[in-house]
Amino acid sequence: MTFSTKEVAQIFGFAEPTVRKWAVEFAQYLSPTAQPGEGKKRSFAIEDLEVVALISEYKERQATFEDIHVALKSGARGDPPEISEGHLKVLSATEGEKRASLEIVALQRHITQLSERLEKAEALAAQTQQLGQENASLKTETNLLREQLQKTTEELKQSRDDIQRLSREVGQVHGQAYVEGYKEGLREQGNPPAKDSQQPTSQS
Q: For the domain covering 3-73, report its CATH number.
A: 1.10.1660
Cβ atoms 155, 107 nearer than 8 A: yes
The DSSP string of 11-50 is: HHT--HHHHHHHHHHTGGGS-GGGS--TTS--EE-HHHHH
Domain boundaries, the chain: 3-73, 85-189
Phi–psi pair at 8, nearest 5 degrees: -65, -40
Q: Counting beta carbons within 10 angstroms of the beta carbon of residue 91, is it exposed (0 to 12), middle (13 to 18) or buried (19 or more)?
A: buried
Q: Is the pTM of this model over 0.85?
A: no
| Cα→Cα distances 86→43, 56, 183, 190, Å | 20, 24, 15, 24
What digits encode the pLDDT tens for the residues 130-161?
Answer: 555 556 777 777 788 788 777 777 777 776 77
Q: Nearest-CA neighbor of 145 among 135, 133, 137?
A: 137
Query: 77: which residues sit within 8 A by CB, 6+ positions away?
Result: 47, 50, 51, 53, 54
3-state secondary structure of 3: strand
| pLDDT tens-place string over residues 48-93 | 999 999 999 999 999 999 999 999 999 999 988 776 555 555 555 5
